[in-house]
């Protein structure tokens, strides 16, 4: 009962926090115990190796190789979904940095400092990596190719290991990982945040969370609890818990939109990645609906992947331009797009961010649900267990609009709430009412585009908006 009262208090006040480490000391011990993280990570390394081997050397027919579903249908969508509930906790057990850490422990790393030029442009580099992945993933049919999927995993793993060989700390996670950047964005609307207790940090003289001690190195991404101010960069690995002499780190439950309200679009990662992410989602929905975009592109290109990538760039660019125009239009009407301290920022980014997250989730869950009934039979075909062939089932068509509409409406309400909050509290008297209404219209237009493109993938004519016009 007390728990629900606390949740209610959190929802009514974005400033309120509720420390899980204090409320559940066992939870604190779980985080403090790094052996558990260590075991999880090693277990996930084994899974990663199995997936790569299955992708490279297993059957290449997608109906006979279960690694595709494990990667695209389970692992990635579950990581995206988990962001909302536990933030970037996946990064705390992610297997990609393990090989690099092992090489560092063997003193094989050059431990160089990352050049300033790279640091300055790291967000742009990660965004380009991310766009490349989406572009190749969608236009070459990677989700149907075990070998390509395995190569993607190898490239990310190699990137993390190479950076560990060259640079100090987990520089891949800190600057370049495209998955990490996306997760940071998702985690900014999480219920959970990892933060320091500033009153404890004020008495601190060691800053061990950041610098480390003689026995233990400091934060792997050069943060340390003391410097964590948002959910974008901290891996929530819990490493600094054992370093802090004052029990400062807290794991707070909070209002999921509080970070967006506090930051108001001053997060450069979000400003750069969100329009690309949303643009790519519009293109992806066109593939998952009655347009069957990739089938048409494949027919035109006769399965030539260079041609496919070229043609697929067109809807990607159109999607990006559409989102960018709506965001810029909103920024223009807000009249605030430059801050003396923070530089250029976009108040529209936090408004559309929940929609970007919901779109990503729905697009990934579409793959999960469409392919779930065939997963066990696929394993049966892969390992020659014919009895598994019968373990299939059908997912009723109403499931797709149910979760699709649920997540998109939820994000729409979140966006409207943020819009109203900025209009009433942050820009009180600055933005005229008619401009506020105009921004609302633009936001609804974006919402309409999402719903329209998504709904054409639901084989339910009565709610299929596009079919009504056919």
Question: Where do contacts with ligand SF4 occur on this chain (CB under 6 A)?
Answer: 91, 94, 96-97, 160, 172-173, 177, 179-180, 194, 196, 200-201, 204, 206-209, 219-221, 223-226, 228, 234-240, 243-244, 246, 248-249
> Which residue, 139 or 170, has its beta carbon nearer to ligand SF4?
170
Minimum CB–partner distance for residue 27 and ligand SF4 (Å): 14
Minimum CB–partner distance for residue 151 and ligand SF4 (Å): 16
232: nearest Cα among 196, 193, 275, 280 = 193
Q: Per-residue DSSP letters for 254-271?
A: E-TTHHHHHHTT--HHHH
Tell me how far apart the 2 most distant CA atoms of the chain are, in Å: 71
> Which residue, 179 or 278, has its beta carbon nearer to ligand SF4?
179
In the numeric block, the tokens 């400033």 are attached to 15
What's phi and psi for 251, nearest 5 deg? -115, 100
> Which residue, 142 or 237, has its beta carbon nearer to ligand SF4?
237
- Residue 209 DSSP SS3: helix
**383: how many CB neighbours lie within 10 A of its CB?**
11
Minimum CB–partner distance for residue 180 and ligand SF4 (Å): 3
Minimum CB–partner distance for residue 48 and ligand SF4 (Å): 11
- Residue 30 DSSP SS3: helix
Minimum CB–partner distance for residue 285 and ligand SF4 (Å): 25
Minimum CB–partner distance for residue 100 and ligand SF4 (Å): 9
**384: how many CB neighbours lie within 10 A of its CB?**
8
Strand ordering across the sheet containing 192-195: 17-19, 250-254, 192-195
**60: how many CB neighbours lie within 10 A of its CB?**
14
> Which residue, 131 or 234, has its beta carbon nearer to ligand SF4?
234
Minimum CB–partner distance for residue 199 and ligand SF4 (Å): 10
Residues 413 and 424: their CA atoms lie apart, in Å, by 16
Q: Give the chain's length.
A: 470
Minimum CB–partner distance for residue 17 and ligand SF4 (Å): 16
Residues 204 and 238: their CA atoms lie apart, in Å, by 19
For residue 107, give Cα distances in angstroms to 18, 102, 104, 168: 41, 9, 5, 11
327: nearest Cα among 367, 355, 303, 357 = 355
Q: Which residue is nearest to ligand SF4 (CB)?
A: 180
> Which residue, 163 or 408, has its beta carbon nearer to ligand SF4?
163
DSSP conformation class of 206: S
Minimum CB–partner distance for residue 357 and ligand SF4 (Å): 16
> Which residue, 250 or 456, has its beta carbon nearer to ligand SF4?
250
In the numeric block, the tokens 């906790």 are attached to 89
What is the number of helices (H) and of strands (E) in the chain? 24, 5
């Amino acid at each position: 009962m007390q728990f629900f009262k606390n949740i209610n208090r959190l929802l009514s006040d974005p400033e309120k926090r509720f420390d899980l480490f204090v409320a559940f000391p066992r939870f604190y011990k779980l985080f403090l115990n790094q052996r558990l993280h260590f075991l999880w990570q090693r277990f996930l390394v084994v899974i990663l190796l199995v997936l790569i081997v299955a992708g490279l050397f297993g059957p290449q027919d997608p109906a006979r190789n279960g690694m595709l579903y494990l990667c695209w249908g389970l692992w990635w969508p579950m990581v995206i979904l988990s962001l909302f509930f536990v933030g970037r906790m996946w990064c705390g057990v992610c297997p990609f940095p393990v090989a690099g850490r092992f090489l560092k422990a063997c003193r094989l790393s050059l431990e160089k400092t990352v050049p300033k030029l790279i640091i300055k442009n790291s967000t742009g580099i990660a965004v380009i990596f991310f766009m490349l992945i989406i572009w190749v993933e969608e236009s070459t049919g990677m989700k149907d190719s075990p070998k390509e999927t395995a190569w993607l995993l190898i490239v990310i793993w190699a990137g993390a290991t190479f950076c560990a060989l060259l640079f100090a700390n987990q520089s891949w996670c800190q600057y370049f990982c495209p998955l990490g950047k996306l997760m940071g964005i998702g985690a900014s609307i999480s219920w959970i945040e990892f933060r320091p207790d500033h009153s404890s940090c004020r008495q601190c003289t060691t800053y061990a969370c950041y610098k480390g001690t003689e026995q233990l190195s400091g934060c792997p991404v050069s943060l340390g609890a003391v410097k964590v101010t948002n959910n974008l960069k901290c891996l929530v690995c819990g490493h600094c818990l054992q370093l802090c002499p004052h029990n400062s780190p807290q794991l707070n439950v909070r209002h999921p939109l509080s970070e967006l309200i506090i930051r108001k679009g001053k997060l450069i990662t979000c400003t750069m990645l969100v329009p690309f992410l949303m643009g790519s989602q519009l293109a992806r929905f066109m593939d998952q609906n009655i347009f069957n975009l990739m089938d048409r592109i494949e027919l035109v290109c006769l399965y030539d992947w260079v041609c496919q990538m070229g043609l697929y760039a067109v809807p990607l660019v159109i999607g990006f331009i559409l989102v960018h125009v709506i965001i810029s239009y909103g920024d223009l009407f807000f009249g605030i797009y430059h801050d003396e301290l923070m530089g250029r920022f976009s108040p529209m980014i936090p408004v559309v961010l929940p929609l970007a997250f919901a779109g990503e989730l729905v697009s990934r869950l579409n793959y999960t649900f469409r392919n779930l009934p065939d997963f066990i039979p696929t394993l049966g075909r892969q390992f020659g267990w014919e009895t598994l062939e019968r373990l299939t089932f059908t997912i009723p068509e109403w499931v797709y609009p149910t979760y699709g509409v649920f997540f998109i409406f939820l994000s729409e309400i979140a966006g409207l709430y943020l819009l109203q909050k900025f209009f009433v509290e942050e820009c009180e008297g600055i933005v005229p009412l008619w401009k506020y209404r105009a921004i609302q219209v633009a936001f609804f237009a974006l919402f309409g585009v999402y719903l329209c493109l998504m709904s054409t993938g639901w084989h339910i004519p009565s709610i299929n908006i596009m079919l009504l016009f056919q």
